[in-house]
Amino acid sequence: MAARVPLPVTLLLGAALALQVGYQAVRAPPHRVASKLEDAPPLAVLRLASLGEPVALAKAMTLHAQGQDAADTPLNSIDYVALRSWFERIVDLDPRGQAPLLAASQVYAASSDPARTRIMLDFVYCRFGEDPDRRWPWLAHAALVARHRLHDAALARQYARAIRTRVTNGVLPAWARQMELFILDDMGEDDSAKALIGAMLASGQVSDPRELAWLERRLHDISARQRQAHP
């Protein structure tokens, strides 16, 4: 059974939505095709309507926004621009909340429409920079979506590079730090891969002996492959 929204939270959201003509109730009734999602109210309006409880309002807004994709509502029928505006406001109200970033990268990025997928990935990338140490998992998933669903290796590399360079060393696991290298290898960019490995080894970014040994083997393998290709 779905969790019920506490009455005070419902009233807070109702106050915010009342300031915008045409907004719906916090949750759409089950088994009903959701009506068109309108753009989220301005942040200033929401802060005023929250009555000092922005996190509670953000949670209620999350239920409302995600209530638009009922089981019988295809992802491609949802207005992703409006949906992104809701996710933006939710993150503004509750910066520590992860639900919008999770939903954007793992649920709504699954749209078969590349334009819609890119809207969600760009949202994750833009908000990642505000809190890289906590938001990197969603950008890592976005990188995988960019590479394997959109077949956009350049975009995937952009996301992977951001993870490698902007997340605190002790926070980031080895596989995430090496994502950019795997993407370069997949692209056949041997020179760039060698440069990246050299930079990682020289910078002291990697301290684990096993990872250092793996990077050195990768560097050796790439060099050997290049010598075979150009004797």
Specify the residue for token string 């503004």. Answer: 92
For the segment 42-90, what is each residue's pLDDT rounded down to a tens digit? 999 999 999 999 999 999 999 888 876 654 567 788 899 999 999 999 9
Q: What is the pLDDT of residue 18?
A: 43
Q: Which two tokens stand for residue 114?
A: 């590349």
Q: pLDDT tens across 3-49, in order?
A: 444 444 444 455 444 444 333 333 344 444 445 788 999 999 999 99
Q: Which residue has the tokens 């999770």?
A: 102
Task: Determine the Cα angle at 200 with ends 196 and 206, to 5°.
Answer: 150
Rounded distance between C-alpha atoms, residue 129 and residue 98, angstroms: 14
- Per residue, the 3-state secondary structure of the chain, as one string, reads CCCCCCHHHHHHHHHHHHCCCCCCCCCCCCCCCCCCCCCCCCHHHHHHHCCCCHHHHHHHHHHHHHCCCCCCCCHHHCCHHHHHHHHHHHHHHCCCCCHHHHHHHHCHHHCCCHHHHHHHHHHHHHHHCCCHHHHHHHHHHHHHHHHHCCCCHHHHHHHHHHHHHHCCCCCCCHHHHCHHHHHHHHHCCHHHHHHHHHHHHHHCCCCCHHHHHHHHHHHHHHHHHHHHHCC
Q: Find where tokens 């790439």 sit.
A: 222
pLDDT at residue 73, rounded to an integer: 64
Provide the pLDDT for residue 21: 30
What Cα–Cα distance (Å) separates residue 57 from each residue in 36, 62, 94? 21, 9, 9
Its pTM stands at: 0.74
Q: What's the N-to-C CA distance of the chain in angstroms?
A: 66
Look-up: residue for tokens 């793996």?
Answer: 214
For residue 102, with 0-12 CB atoms within 10 Å meaning exposed, 13-18 middle and 19 or more buried, which class applies? middle
